[in-house]
Structure 1
Amino acid sequence: MSELAFRSISDLSNNYRNGEISPVTVIDACLKRIEQFEPKLGAFQALYAEDARQAAEAAEKAYQSGHRIGPFHGIPFALKDIIDVEGRITTGGSKVMSERISPGTATIARRLLAAGGILLGKTKTVEVAMGGWGTNEHMGTPWNPWDLKIPRTPGGSSSGSGVSVAAGLAGCAVGTDTGGSVRLPSAWCGIVGLKTSEGLLPTDGIIPLSHTLDTPGPMARCVDDVSLMFEVMAGRHPIDTDRDLELRQGLFGSREAGIRGLRLGVLSEDEREGTDVEILTLYDSAIDLLRSLGAEISVFQMPMRFADMQGATGSIIYSEGYYHHGEMFENENAQIDPYVRPRILGGRDIS
């Protein structure tokens, strides 16, 4: 039964359609793993077990009566706890916001639910999504599931989303990425995460860190699942008036077509200095694999050093983070993560 929690979205969808398994069985498998491993891993901020079971029963009846919505129907997923679901608490990973009731449902969450997805719960995050290690002093830091003996950092800020997917607690999850917050936990937990370009996915109903750079992103165990999630969530929203990228239908093309002819850029040799040899070896192996599959690899030179670009990006994040959360972080009596507070307050004098 545990194996069901690790099946891909497309496999589950086909299994449901053929009557081989039921959404109820899959949700029970996920909840069983959550019961077994969540006390150690701590991936979830909130769990909606009863609602998930009811949704699974409804999905089962829909499949039995031939009313399949689409390939995401009956798929268990989780949301980073900065994404609103109406009537649910969304803490933003902050003790200060631990009783904040969501006033509405984020468009990306609404689209996943409308596609028949089954929400298992909200996953833990670094406070206000400001941090790459995945740590949170007051709300708890999830364990990286690859080592159950020693607590190792999962990457952040979408820490719980990465852990829940890697451990088979959820079939897939949604994170957000401002400066690496989907990419880091995906890499550190050994799953697939997509940092989407600004404007491709709506950001309404998401507690902001940097309105210029915030982007939601799908997280799953294979590229095919990430692509399918993206297609469900994609499309502009009226609130995104300052985003200038329009969604193109079939952005990824056919998932069966492969990557032949796809042009991929890699950083120049001088940008690799200071990176561990083991990491570079794995990185180069991945590039070689992509090249063997037909991708065109091009070395490109950025207009500024990568480290300088990180500094410039950080200034934007600090400044806009202070704009959104400065009042809360200025309160010396508030229970604020000591790692996050100085970073947000660092944006006070940036204009």
Structure 2
Amino acid sequence: MADNNPFPMSREELLAAYRKMRTIREFEERLHIDFGRGDIPGFVHLYAGEEATATGIMFHLGDGDRIASTHRGHGHCIAKGVDVIGMMKEIYGKKGGSCNGKGGSMHIADLSKGMMGANGILGAGAPLICGAALAAKFRGKGEVGVTFTGDGACNQGTFLESMNLAAVWNLPVIFVVENNGYAESTSRDYGTAVESFVDRAAGFGMPGVSVDGTDLFAVYEAAGEMIKRARQGGGPALLECKMVRFYGHFEGDAQTYRAPGELDDIRENHDCIKILATQLKSSGVVSADELLAIDQQVIELIETAVKEAKAAPMPTLADLTSDVYINY
């Protein structure tokens, strides 16, 4: 690491992290536009504003490590390395998509990248990742499982039962609570008794840490310590990331539950990409021109993904009965 680099990541890693975050943002911003045009079928839940959390955590994971996502899963997929063009085709419901157009926005999966799937059932990823972590423990290769759960879904029984199971079996699991302040339209303060989700971890005898989820480096360092501990047999841990989302719970959400000026403040003062870019440029480790070049390359990638998705064929009737359990 260069002497003038004050960050816990190398210069190459910083550029890769910025590219990953920018890719997530541009992907989601484009979906916001295209969904509004009526080009995209089904429901869409956007990850814009939360990019630092997925990127900071996934930097420590390889293809052999499994993650279980949520309905707001595009950012997790991209950060884990799922092909962006394949994802766009999937969201458009086309052949060649990550799941051949059969899953759509809420059910993207790619087991080759350790992405077990997004999930439309709140809290359902937690028990799934316990199974993946148990398998990893038996394989003995030091692999881990990471499950992402929103602040609202953390009140589901499945989440709490999974924490207990992971603690009893000493599983290599990281429970990530993505606390963006709202369970759909319900404020966290209204629907959750504890002040911090870290308090829940203590009830199951596991360590817990709360960080600013818009700070890439805070997430990166906290996740790195937990994942290293889990790989070495230290057992489960909980990471709460306090974050913001730029859009509503779903596309079309009027967000009448937001306070006046709240969205403007989020965009202006809590944009994780803007924060990172300012840090990188002011440090002198990365130049503004380098970041602009990445921005342009990402825009071109997303444009290509949309063009290919629109041009791709629809699934046929013959595809209807493929990829189902009876054929396995």
Question: The TM-score by the shorter chain falls in which range?
Answer: under 0.3
- Highest RCO, 1 vs 2 (Cα 8 Å, sep ≥ 6): 2
- TM-score normalised to structure 2 length: 0.26
